């Protein structure tokens, strides 16, 4: 018997960093890239993991327990209370670039959790997958807001507001609202090719905030208003309004010191190539930027971004 599961990548449209301070953020699934997991019964003793993208071919118990993939399986074992796992063969493939803000870790966890649950007849709801993935994200990424696991679990655009920290709060990190897209729109995503740990930019922003809370709270408020307005524009079927909101959001992220020369160059390039607006996306300092485009110029904008140094681009439609 073989059980398969797949989960998409994601990208943040608005609200990164401010989301850590309780302001809303918007994110969408990116289905052009995905993590795919196959779980099958095996005649070989043990639980064998085959993840060629990260050069991993190993039996579970030979891996350190905090290994990102091993920790998902161990924690799932604990959650499902399966006393003894059968012999399994687990194949993990992902086309989501690692550490570039496309949610690769969350997607592997979601797909692996669902594939294991289905294979072992353990019934699990989306809410439980989301909460479980949030716990795994916390093991590897410090204090994530919860937006990654949420958008990847539901595979729909989400409007997300983080819960205030509380030791006894269970769940996936925040309030999630899915919303309707009034009219489809097109986004070009471009990767600077520079991997920049989100943890670092998040802690740099924290340092700024600690030194002058009222100044940075005002910036977070402005970003929160942008997310709120953007959601209304998307629901009302007026995606063209998102361009200016992206430009404003990018300027505020520059103030927060999380942009970089490379990101700024790609953001400018997209605008000069006819995009309606553009901004960095995710933790910043590297990783990805996004641009809102009319569908007919998507290819041209993508080409300009590559000429300006983007390592990879994805054109995605938000439906
Ligand atoms: O770099 P990404 O796409 O994983 O996004 C990070 C988003 C932040 O708001 C900076 C941090 C967070 O946990 O939400």
Atom of ligand 1 nearest to the CA of 101: 3
> Based on C-alpha coordinates, what's the Rg of the chain?
20
d(CA 233, CA 244): 12
d(CA 199, CA 202): 5
Strand partners, 26: 14, 159
pTM of the model: 0.93
Question: How many A from CA of 44 to the centre of ligand 1?
Answer: 40
Q: For the packed helices 104-119 and 68-80, what is the interaxial angle rounded to 10 degrees? A: 40
Distance linking the first and last C-alpha atoms of the chain: 34
Q: Is the CB of 147 under 6 A from ligand 1?
A: yes
Strand partners, 174: 162
Q: Which residues are catalytic?
A: 148
Atom of ligand 1 nearest to the CA of 12: 3
Per-residue pLDDT of the chain (319 residues; tens, 9 = 90+): 889 999 999 999 999 999 999 999 999 999 999 999 999 999 999 999 999 999 999 999 999 989 999 999 999 999 998 777 799 999 999 999 887 789 999 999 999 999 999 999 999 999 999 999 999 999 988 778 899 999 999 999 999 998 876 656 666 677 888 889 999 999 999 999 998 888 899 999 999 999 999 999 999 999 999 999 999 999 999 999 999 999 999 999 999 999 999 999 999 999 999 999 999 999 999 999 999 999 999 999 999 999 999 999 999 999 9
């Amino acid at each position: 018997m073989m059980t398969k599961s797949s989960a998409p990548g994601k990208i943040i449209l608005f609200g990164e960093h401010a989301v850590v301070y309780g302001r809303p953020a918007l994110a969408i699934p990116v289905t052009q890239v995905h993590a795919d997991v196959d779980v099958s019964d095996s005649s070989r003793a043990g639980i064998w993991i085959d993840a060629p993208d990260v050069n991993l071919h190993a039996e579970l118990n030979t891996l350190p327990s905090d290994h990102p993939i091993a920790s998902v399986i161990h924690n799932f074992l604990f959650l499902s209370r399966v006393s003894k796992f059968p012999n399994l063969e687990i194949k993990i493939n992902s086309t989501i670039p690692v550490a570039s803000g496309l949610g690769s870790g969350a997607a592997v966890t979601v797909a692996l959790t669902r594939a294991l649950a289905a294979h072992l007849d353990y019934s699990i709801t989306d809410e439980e997958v989301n909460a479980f993935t949030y716990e795994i994200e916390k093991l590897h990424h410090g204090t994530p807001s919860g937006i990654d696991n949420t958008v990847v679990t539901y595979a729909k655009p989400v409007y997300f507001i983080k819960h205030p920290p509380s030791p006894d709060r269970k769940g996936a990190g925040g309030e999630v609202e899915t919303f309707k897209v009034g009219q489809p729109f097109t986004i070009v995503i471009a990767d600077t090719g520079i991997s920049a740990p989100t943890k670092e930019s998040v802690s740099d922003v924290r340092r700024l905030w600690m030194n002058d809370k009222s100044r940075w709270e005002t910036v977070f408020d402005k970003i929160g208003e942008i997310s709120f307005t953007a959601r209304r524009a998307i629901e009302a079927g007026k995606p063209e309004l998102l361009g200016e909101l992206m430009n404003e959001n990018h300027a505020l992220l520059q103030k927060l010191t999380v942009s970089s020369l490379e990101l700024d160059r790609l953001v400018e390039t997209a605008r000069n190539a006819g995009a309606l607006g553009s901004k960095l996306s995710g933790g910043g300092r590297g990783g990805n930027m996004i641009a809102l485009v009319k569908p007919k110029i998507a290819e041209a904008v993508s080409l300009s971004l590559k000429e300006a140094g983007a390592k990879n681009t994805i054109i995605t439609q938000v439906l």
